[in-house]
Amino acid sequence: MEAVKVLLYLLVFPGAIFLFAFSTFAEWFDRKVYARLQNRIGPLHTGSHGLLQPVADFFKLMAKEDIVPAAADKGIFNALPLISFASALAGFLMIPIFRAHLPFTSFPGDLIVILYLLSIPTIIYFLAGWHSTNYFAMLGSFRNLTQLFGYEVPLFLALLAPGMLAGVWQGGIWMPTNWQIAAVGRFYMTHAYLIPVNIIGFVVALIALQAKLERVPFDAPEAETEIVAGALTEYSGKKLALFRLTVDMELVAGSALIAAVFLGGFILQPVMLGSFDISPFLSFILFVLKTLFVVALLSLMRALMGRLRIDQTIAFSWRWLAPLSLVQILISVALKALVRF
């Protein structure tokens, strides 16, 4: 029975199938918001209101010809998309959505683990570009790593700051959340007045997430007009489909992570309707709303700005993002020392 439940969580909800459906939905949402901001319509015909457009794109790419450059290392070239897909999927599984799957996927320190798992795809992109034996791809992968040096530190610090503050005094003993996302979310759900304290961290995390996902204004590693398609230039067919799906999954996982850590998470106490506990459904609705809110903010950022050069991205990250994330940590530490919640 347990095994069946675990398999259901891994494969159906909130596992592979749900993630596929939700990340394509999030991509549709992002494209619609971006298009409306540019006075266009966006996807329209595939499925009602274009909802099936990302799904159609995925299946179209799966059916296309798969070309491997002759000078590339076939084994690594073929394995890389699978590894990045797997790590993004594993990362998403750590996000606590409703109460019932928590015993299987939530543990102290899972915030750190999810950050690690979400960094793997970036390294994979670097390796993908490197192994493509194409100068443009190499240039793209160098820029990938350069950008990593810029946003990684602010992103981690900003995401850890709320966790530092969270934790309760119980009977004179400090019970830290131990970097468990579910616990952090629970803390901010019950102490909702503390959410605005993390506003600086929220903004820094959003900007750093945009850089991580390599979207405008931080998409120098993938600049179409300069280096064709960056690290993924030589990928086509099924491998490219998996890479693009990975990008979508990272979008969802990153947005859900920010929502879980900054906006109070999704886990609710049991809410009884008659004798039926409807809290999982409410959790799910909360999850969708909060995650899409973060995705909408990212789309807004994408539509409003041009692309920064790679040196400008790094300069911006180290001059503004990193110091601000440190400021946020200081605020968290100071509050923790001065006030007892």
Partner 1 sequence: MPTIKVPLGPQHPALKEPESFKFELDGERIVDVDVRMGYAHRGIEKGFEARNFTQGIYLAERICGICSHSHTTPFAQNAEELLKLEIPPRAKWIRSLVGELERIHSHLLWLGVAGHEVGFDSLFMYTWRDRELVLDMLEHISGNRVHYGMNTIGGVRRDISAEQVTKLKEMNDIVTARTDYYIKMCTAEPTFMARISGVGPLTTQQALDLNAVGPMARASGVKRDVRKDDPYAAYGEIPFDVITADSCDILGRAVVRVFELLQSVKIVDYILKNMPAGDIKVKAPRKIPSGEAIARYEAPRGENIHFMKSNGTEKPDRVKVRAPTYANMPATIVSLRGGYVADIPITVAAIDPCFCCADRMVRLVDPRKGRNDLLSWPQLQQYSRDWLRKMGTVPRSERSGGLSPIFRGI
Q: Which positions lie near partner 1, rule CB under 8 A?
A: 37-40, 69-71, 132-135, 139, 216-217, 219-220, 223-228, 303-312
Query: Could you give the CA distance from residue 234 to residue 77 in angstroms, rounded to a whole number?
Result: 10
For partner 1, which is the closer residue by CB, 72 or 194? 72
For partner 1, which is the closer residue by CB, 135 or 149? 135
Q: Contact at 8 Å (CB) between 182 and 270? A: no
Query: Could you give the CA distance from residue 107 to residue 179 in angstroms, rounded to a whole number?
Result: 9
Question: What are the structure tokens assigned to 285, written together?
Answer: 């609705």
> According to DSSP H, which parts of the chain are helical?
2-11, 16-37, 53-62, 74-93, 102-105, 110-130, 135-165, 181-190, 199-212, 224-227, 237-262, 279-304, 310-316, 322-338
One DSSP character per residue, 95-135 reads: S--SGGGHHHH--TTHHHHHHHHHHHHHHHHHHHHHTTT-H
Q: Is 258 exposed, middle or buried (0-12, 13-18, 19+ CB in 10 A)?
A: buried
For partner 1, which is the closer residue by CB, 147 or 328? 147
Smallest separation, CB 227 to partner 1 (Å):
8
For partner 1, which is the closer residue by CB, 171 or 306? 306
Count of positions (residues) in the chain: 341
User: What is residue 192's three-state secondary structure?
Assistant: helix
Query: Could you give the CA distance from residue 142 to residue 237 in angstroms, rounded to a whole number?
Result: 24
Smallest separation, CB 229 to partner 1 (Å):
8
Smallest separation, CB 74 to partner 1 (Å):
12
For partner 1, which is the closer residue by CB, 166 or 216? 216
Smallest separation, CB 64 to partner 1 (Å):
18
Q: How many CB atoms lie within 10 A of CB 295?
A: 23
The contacts of residue 274 (CB under 8 Å, 6+ apart) are none
Query: Could you give the CA distance from residue 238 to residue 62 in angstroms, rounded to a whole number?
Result: 4
For partner 1, which is the closer residue by CB, 108 or 311? 311
Smallest separation, CB 309 to partner 1 (Å):
5
Smallest separation, CB 220 to partner 1 (Å):
7
Smallest separation, CB 85 to partner 1 (Å):
26
For partner 1, which is the closer residue by CB, 37 or 195? 37
For partner 1, which is the closer residue by CB, 101 or 307? 307
Nearest to 40 by CA among 50, 32, 48: 32
Smallest separation, CB 264 to partner 1 (Å):
32
